[in-house]
A = this chain, B = another copy of it.
Amino acid sequence: MKSIDDFSRPEEYISAMDKHFRSAVRAWVDKEVMPHRRAFDEDWKEHALIEPAFDALMANKGLGIQKALFPADLGGWGLGQSDYAFTIACTLAEEVGRADTAMAVAFMVTYWPLTTILVEPHVNRRLAAQFAPMFCNSDKAVFAALAMTEPQGGADIENMELLGGKTIKTTARLDGDEWVINGHKLWPTNTAGVGQLFGVPCTTRLGSTDPDDFALIFVPADVKGVTQGGPYEKAGMAADKNGDLWFEDVRVPAWYRAHGPGKDAQVFKEIIPWGLVGSMGFLVGAMMNLYEVLYEFVSTRTYGNRPLKENDAIAGLIGRIAGDIEVCRILAYEGARIGDRRNRPYGHPLYSEEVLAKLRNLKDFVCDRAVENFGRAMDVLGVYGPDRQYDIEKHWRDIKIIQLWMGGKQLCQMEAARYFYNCKTL
């Protein structure tokens, strides 16, 4: 095999833009991230090293990629209109994830709440026009966040299928032409001072399971009553800041609600597929980097005075790792394609149980392979495995949380099982 690009993808699904995006981002990765990423772990609190790298990727003085989803006439690239939006998202997730999955998630979560108002067929022109300048005319990286998790019952919010928002404690009350929001959110990516715009799932009636009472409201970070706590210290993912987020009588215009009763619940369901495909992309990218590091190590280090890779038993073991990367990459792009089929006659809408369950299953599968293979790879490196200099242990620490987020492994399993076996009570 000549390079990581030889890992299989479903060639027929790849957009014409893919090559361009990939090479631009990879050039950025090799220049701005690879040389510095070992130091990022110590930068988790300040982001003194991390911020400039983001500027070069996201802002106008760099690639300006943070504007990608906005319509062209509002200064964006119009990717929200593309039939390949998921496939390209997978490519971006892969390329950035290869260097640092924490940067990848921080960067791509900026798109996450915006998908609900910028991706066909749900474009909200007024909100798009309102937020376009913020992202399209900036020389600094601008981050958005989706504030889902609440102190009680961690994954309940992602568990819309089952709970229909019943447990949401963050309330939105309409007062004249303004929403008044009160609540406490935990752990959103791009908080702790990073986020400048929040997508906030709220309920307009506490304890209700009526989709009409679910509201997704956009809240700029600088509005009065919004407080961001300091960043949590975590096992990894230093480039992704998470903290507490409080809303105290926060007031935003009524039209900051994504779409309105019913529709909000639907578009909120639709963000899940984006998160799942992105997660797979992050992991495949990280595993492609794993392959690069491992390839070098097994070619230069020895057992029995022969290169590790020339020992049949070790070759079998590392072959399984590479083979899993091949498998996971095929699955990630097939998953992306399931998303991009949303408007095809033979496809299914993003909110359909079919799409959600199948992507939950694929994400769960890819997570397990990644957790397994990074662990194995550290053992292949042996005494060098835990050493930051070899770049695998950081991925190992970082990617574990990809398995835990968005409701975690067990929620994936339940949603998949419910679909495959038509379970009624899970």
A residues touching B (Cβ–Cβ < 8 Å)? 1, 6, 8, 10-13, 291, 295, 298-299, 306, 309-310, 312, 315-316, 318-320, 322-324, 326-327, 330-331, 334, 337-338, 341, 346, 354, 358, 361-362, 364-365, 410, 413-414, 416-426
By the criterion CB–CB under 8 Å, are B416 and A323 in contact? yes
By the criterion CB–CB under 8 Å, are A341 and B421 in contact? no
B contact residues around A327 at 8 Å (CB):
327, 331, 361-362, 365
Most buried by B among A316, A417, A426: A417
**A13–B420 Cα gap in the complex (Å)?**
24
Q: Which of B13, B310, B319 contacts A425 (CB 8 A)?
A: B310
B contact residues around A13 at 8 Å (CB):
12
By secondary structure, the A interface counts as helix
**A110–B121 Cα gap in the complex (Å)?**
50
Q: Min CB distance, A425 to chain B, in Å?
A: 5
* Residue in chain B with minimal CB distance to A310: B425
Q: Min CB distance, A412 to chain B, in Å?
A: 9
Q: Which of B1, B310, B425 contacts A420 (CB 8 A)?
A: B1
Given contacts A1-B422, A422-B1, contact A413 B6 (CB under 8 A): no
* Residue in chain B with minimal CB distance to A357: B1
Number of copies: 2
By the criterion CB–CB under 8 Å, are A358 and B423 in contact? no
By the criterion CB–CB under 8 Å, are A420 and B334 in contact? no
Q: Min CB distance, A280 to chain B, in Å?
A: 12
Q: Min CB distance, A410 to chain B, in Å?
A: 7
B contact residues around A337 at 8 Å (CB):
10, 12
B contact residues around A298 at 8 Å (CB):
421
B contact residues around A331 at 8 Å (CB):
327, 330-331
**A48–B425 Cα gap in the complex (Å)?**
48
By the criterion CB–CB under 8 Å, are A326 and B1 in contact? no
In the complex, the 10 A-B pairs of residues with the closest C-beta atoms, listed nearest first: A319-B417, A322-B420, A315-B417, A323-B361, A316-B413, A309-B421, A319-B416, A310-B425, A330-B334, A11-B346
By the criterion CB–CB under 8 Å, are B316 and A414 in contact? yes
By the criterion CB–CB under 8 Å, are B11 and A421 in contact? no
* Residue in chain B with minimal CB distance to A419: B1
By the criterion CB–CB under 8 Å, are A316 and B6 in contact? no
Given contacts A315-B426, A327-B365, A334-B334, contact A417 B309 (CB under 8 A): yes
Most buried by B among A8, A309, A323, A346: A323
B contact residues around A316 at 8 Å (CB):
410, 413-414, 417
**A298–B421 Cα gap in the complex (Å)?**
9
